[in-house]
Structure 1
Amino acid sequence: MTNIDKIFEAQKYIEPDEELKGDTGYYGMVASAVEEATDAGNEMLKKGGNAFDAMIAVQLALAVVEGMNTGIGSGGFILCHDFKNKDTKVVNAHPKAPAALRPDCFIDENGQEIPFDERSTHGMSVGIPSIMKGLKYVHENYASLPLETLIDPAIRLAESEVRVHSLWERTLELFEHRLGDEARKMFVPDGVKLKEGDRLRQPELEKTLKTIRDNGFEDVYTGEIADAIIDTVKAHGGIMNHQDLINYDVRIEEPLWSSYRGYDIALPVPPSSGGIGTAMQLKILEQLDISQYEAHSAEKYHLIAQALQLAMADDAKYIEDTNFKPAPLDGLLHEDYIKERLGQMSADRNAEEKTAGNPWKYQKDRHSEQEHKVSADNEGLETTHFTAVDQWGNIAACTTSIERIYGSGIMVPGYGFLLNNHLTDFSPAPGSVNEPNGNKYPKSSKSPTIMFHEGKPFLTLGSPGAATIIASVVQTIVNVIDYNMPINDAIKDQRVYVMPDLSKQWEDGLDDALLKELSDRGYQFNQSFREEGADTRIGDVQAIMIDHANDRRLYGGADFPRPGDAKGL
């Protein structure tokens, strides 16, 4: 039995699970972090729409039901696979900086970095809202249903009394302090935080969605919504202007193609470091027979942690907007460089700090490397990921965010949506890797992913979680490919996250005996992950598998921290 046969044989034994929701289907499937958004996507599939229609409907619905993580003011990366034409593209709809931004924008008059909470809730932190341009491109080039149909579920949600779910309550407990006065009117009415079980109407957001329905996505860039965005940014000290909105457009890019144990993988390219980080970890792990170790063994987690450390060390030194500074992408994945990095890890070696290597010597277009300072990563811990597959085999996978939970905390008055703080994804120190600059993309960790077997897509997945995204995506892939776990088990399985300098070490459910073994190897896991602003779970993976040998049967899974679901037709 081949590996792919073993993978799909395992799917037949999925057990019902109260924590993790999943489903099977033949005519389409949608997986997202909020059930109502999943339903909006499936509504499009039932109306004869394709995966791209479903993806657009999910994003618009999430603006209503997961507005603390995404929405009209967000940005992201969309991976589009056209099954008929065997074509896969990355739609880069990531926020850019306004043209007038300067490298010292987050430095005060004394030459000191402005504290993160202060700079990230200021108008200067707001990147050009970009996801609506991404949806516009997908709608014009891939989708089949009219915008009025795609946006209708979101409008219905906004005008109804939508349920306040557990994610709203948890994030308000953690991030109420980031909300500006306008946002507090919605999320902390009369000084009382919304809690699970409350009902919420959003008439201002309903107005915004109806404006987009009537005038198109372009209204966010040239219409009344654009005017409101610029007025709001300037009122909070920002420098974005109308020309910045008018000039913004998405970039359509070839994916970063890599492979793992004979499976091809399509990933986003910089300014997302998520693609190269995922690919590099898998290339390192591919050199090892990791399946010789039990799925829940100290050896497995120790090797996973070291591969993650090595990839992140290189990411911090080399990856940023490649329009401003070239990156050694080929060198990072070069066979000889991977073997060189592999020499820094071992199942028998204790936990230790990992540093960046020198991939430039393996790069064909050698770059005269200029030394840059490496600054701390302050990328927000939350995002959202969703994916859709249709009856024709098309796939849309999207990871989108307003950066920190509740973004900048700045809500556009009268329009009901939050603005992002993506510009604090830049390293604040001038001269550092990923320094701020005008018309520059801040680095991102988003990694929507599609895996292929013999030219056909068989797995699509992604996760929120900033730098932890690549940990979640890689460990789910390893569980599927190396351990032949059913997709629900692969998603639910415990994960680890370890920084290169060991300063942050998180786990999300390892048992005491395993923690003791890892402690003996030098790990000191911080089990209070929540204090950093995220759930105790690392990531929130949404995934769909396609069994082409069985009439394209679909298997979906949605991780359990959020109120999401995977539903098939």
Structure 2
Amino acid sequence: MGGHDTRSEERDRERTGRTNRRDFLLGSAAALGLSAVPASARASAVDGRPRAMQAEEVATATSAEGMVSSVHPEATRVGTNVLEDGGNAVDAAVAVQFALNVVQPHGSGIGGGGFMLVYSADEDVTYAVDNRERAPVGADPEMFLGEDGEPIPFDQRHMSGQAVGVPGTLRAIDVALKRFGTRPLERLIQPAIDLASPGFREATVDAYLAEVIAEEVDNFNDAARSVFAPGGEPLEAGDSLLQPDLADTLELIRDEGVEAFYRGEIAEAIAETVQDTGGTMTTNDLAAYNVTMDHPEYVEYEDVVIRTMSLPSSGGLTVGHVLKLVESFDLGEYGPRSTEKYHALAEAFHRAYADRGAYMGDKLFADAPWQGLLDEEYLAERRDEISLSTATEPPWEPGDPWAYQPGEPYRTSPLVADPAEMARSLDAESAETVLGMLAALLAVSRSDAGARAGAAAGRPGPDRATPLAADRGQTTHFTTADSEGNMVSWTSTIEQFFGTKMMVPGYGFMLNNELTDFDATPGGPNEVRPNKRPLSSTSPTIVFRDGEPFMTVGSPGGTTIITTVAQIIQNVTTFGMGLAEAIAEPRIYADDDPELYWEDGVPEGVREELSGLGHAIQDESVGLGNAQAILVRDGEYVGAADFRRAGAVGAPES
């Protein structure tokens, strides 16, 4: 059964009979300190096709005092130091985010956004902090179409100013600290300043970053090239990563707060950079941006409750949809590397992604049938289409969850008869902002059931940003926990590696290309609209068992995020794996295209059987995702960092 978080949390409180979790972690800790991925694991992961690995090669740590897991040892060190200094999980997460901007500038940063879950132990409530980028006021549904009316090729549109969404990361930091934090921003940003500043604790280039720089150097603007390829030569592994402009920017934010980014000189520089490359973003768009704080979606699966993001992230609904579709097949009876398991998952993926594409978008603009998608009768109807003895043939059409959704799709009437007349009474700057916001709100009325049905019929397969075999996990995920029981699961991104490949000159940070997550062709629930948030696959997740936080998990990887998170949860709950084993287990991926992708470790005989059932098995293996996770076990945290990139876990010393 699906629904919003509030009802489920009330039910959890009834089960446990208490609402305060401050005593949730008790006892002595066996803190292992900072644990990085072994060198052998890093070497195999760099080319994007990791060899099959064992659970022992996943970086792990155990502690009751707190935990940090991120993609980079320096970022993990920074977050761990915050916990040792008495900060809480949110403080540590903020410090990690700033540090990642320096050491992993290709994956996330202040020029992007993301989704953040916070479990507050005092309140026994989980909050979703949505800092997804928004389209500027000047955005248009047809802005990614060429003169011939066809979508502009992705390689072109993702490096233009039109692709840049209004960044949300700093707003999330500001809101989260004010609502949950215990340390001031100026203290949490300082380690990142030191990492970026020449002559301090300079960051160095790791093997993964070096490879991405080499691949993207020809696409960089001059500002980015001067940092990542000084003198024309791309930085190599082991080189110092000197970023004095970024250090100055972070110092300005430290001294003046986030308003320096959204209203001051940084905002002016962002708007100028975007407009110079064909975009429409203005300083008004930046000044108007704010995050939303909501309750996450939830789904009950086996003996756990899974809480993850609501729309515009499709992660919550689609992770839940996949797991509920396979729940009644009793896959635990077949084993984690059985033909039956992979087959059932692939069939569930095909249907869940068909529904995702047909019905999901920004919930402020498109009325998605979120209850219908997780309704037991609808799930049974979709599940009846799946046979364990044969694969179904494409195309996989979306179902009709509206038949199981209470009520009718909503309509929204215009708020004023003539918005332009209203705007004439305002000054030019205010009028521009008001007209844009009204246009965005009025667009809801255009996202009616007819438009959704038209989009669902004959919807094309995904317009892949990069071939999946080469998509090694853009974006980054990290997770933190503290001794009081607070937990954070945060996925942060600038979309493609290095986003638009544009650095803001003089300020040292990259700009996202998130607006390419909108459908290039207008007409569906995920079409471009002013102030709208594009659909995402981001799935930061907190899992509960018996009313208590049990596990956090998340991953980068574009649309593969959903399947990665679902499989890790299934590995732990259905197959009884430990956290490291669940992360190391080879994964598969499919969507509403026929291809089935697989990682090394999926047995050759099983692949042959899957092909015999009718699946379109790819010839070569790929790497899928890069999970960071924390599990609660016997009053202690177990942290784990995926070997697929150079992740690290850390715990405060007891």
| Same structural fold, with TM-score higher than 0.5 when normalized by the shorter chain | yes
Deviations, residues 41-75 of structure 1 (Å, cap 9, x unaligned):
11110000000001100100000011101011011
- Contact kept in structure 2, 1:33 and 1:564, CA below 8 Å: yes
Which TM-score applies when normalising by structure 2?
Answer: 0.81
CA distance in 1, matches of 2:454, 2:131: 27
Residue by residue over 1:204-244, the C-alpha shift from the partner in whole angstroms, topping out at 9 and shown as x without a partner, is 11111111111112211011211111111111111000110
Larger radius of gyration: 2
Q: Equivalents in 1 of 2:399, 2:106: separation in Å?
A: 37
In the other structure, the counterpart of 1:283 is 324
The within-5 A match list for 1:457-536 is 457-503=549-595, 505-528=597-620, 536=622
Q: Which residue of the partner structure matches residue 34 of structure 1? A: 72
Which one-letter code corresponds to 1:425 in the other structure?
Answer: D
Q: What is the CA RMSD across the aligned residues, in angstroms?
A: 1.8
Query: Which of 259, 264, 268 pairs up with 1:218?
Result: 259
Partner of 1:96: 134
Per-residue CA shift, 1:104-139, capped at 9, x if unaligned?
111122322211111110011100011110110001
Q: What residue number does 1:323 align with?
A: 364
Residue aligning to 2:432: none
Residue 462 of structure 2: aligned partner:
377
The size of the alignment, in residue pairs, is 547
What residue number does 1:73 align with? Answer: 111
Paired position in structure 2 for 1:168: 209
CA distance in structure 1 between the aligned counterparts of 2:616 and 2:218, rounded to whole angstroms: 30
Amino acid paired to 1:428? A
Q: Using the alignment, how far apart are the partners of 1:67 and 1:504 within structure 2?
A: 31
Q: Is the 8 A contact 2:567 2:587 kept in 1?
A: yes
- The alpha-carbon deviation at position 504 of structure 1 amounts to 5.7
Q: Does the C-alpha gap of structure 1 residues 179 and 481 become closer, same or farther in structure 2, counting only changes over 3 Å?
A: same
The alpha carbon displacement at 1:468 in A equals 0.4
TM-score, length basis structure 1? 0.93
CA contact (8 A) 1:375 1:429 kept: no
Residue equivalent to 2:82: 44
Matching residue's letter, 2:643: F
Indicate whether 1:560 and 2:643 are aligned.
yes
Q: Write the deviation string for residues 352-409 of structure 1: whole angstroms up to 9, x where unpaired.
A: 3222100000000222721233355347551110000100000111001101111001
1:192-203 to structure 2, matched below 5 A, reads: 192-203=233-244
Specify which of 624, 632, 639 is matched with residue 538 of structure 1: 624
Partner of residue 108, structure 1 = 146
Q: Is the 8 A contact 1:376 1:427 kept in 2?
A: no
CA distance in 2, matches of 1:44, 1:219: 25
SS at match of 1:162: coil
1:233 aligned to 2:286?
Answer: no
Q: Partner of 1:55: helix, strand, or coil? A: helix
SS in 2 for 1:372: helix
Please give the alpha-carbon distance, in whole angstroms, between the structure 1 residues aligned to 2:327 and 2:583: 20
Give 1:398's match in structure 2, choosing from 490, 508, 512.
Answer: 490
Q: Aligned partners of 1:561 and 1:170: how far apart in 2?
A: 14
Q: Does the alignment pair 1:359 with 2:359?
A: no
**CA–CA distance in structure 2, aligned partners of residues 467 and 76 of structure 1:** 14
Percent identity between the two aligned chains: 40
Aligned to 2:301: 260
Letter in 2 for 1:161: E
Q: AA paired with 2:369?
A: P
AA partner of residue 76 (structure 2): T
How far 1:28 moved relative to its partner?
A: 0.1
Please give the per-residue CA displacement for 1:484-512, whole angstroms capped at 9, x wherever unaligned. 11100100110000122314634344232
Runs (4+) of structure 1 exceeding 4 A deviation are: 15-18, 378-381
Structure 1: stretches of 5+ with no match in the other structure: 1-10, 530-535
Partner residue of 1:133? 171
Letter in structure 2 aligned against 1:287 = S
State the AA in 1 paired with 2:462: D
1: distance between equivalents of 2:365 and 2:609? 44
Aligned AA (1:538):
L
Contact 2:128 2:309 in 1 (8 A): yes
- The AA in structure 2 aligned to 1:92 is D
Q: Which residue of 2 aligns with 1:206?
A: 247
Unaligned runs of 5+ in 2: 1-29, 31-52, 410-447, 466-470
2:227 and 2:242 in contact (8 A); partners too = no
1:410 to 2:410 alignment? no
The equivalent of 1:19 in structure 2 is 57
In structure 2, distance between residues paired with 1:209 and 1:311: 41
> What's the counterpart of residue 150 of structure 1?
188
- Whole-Å separation in 1 of the counterparts to 2:150 and 2:75: 43
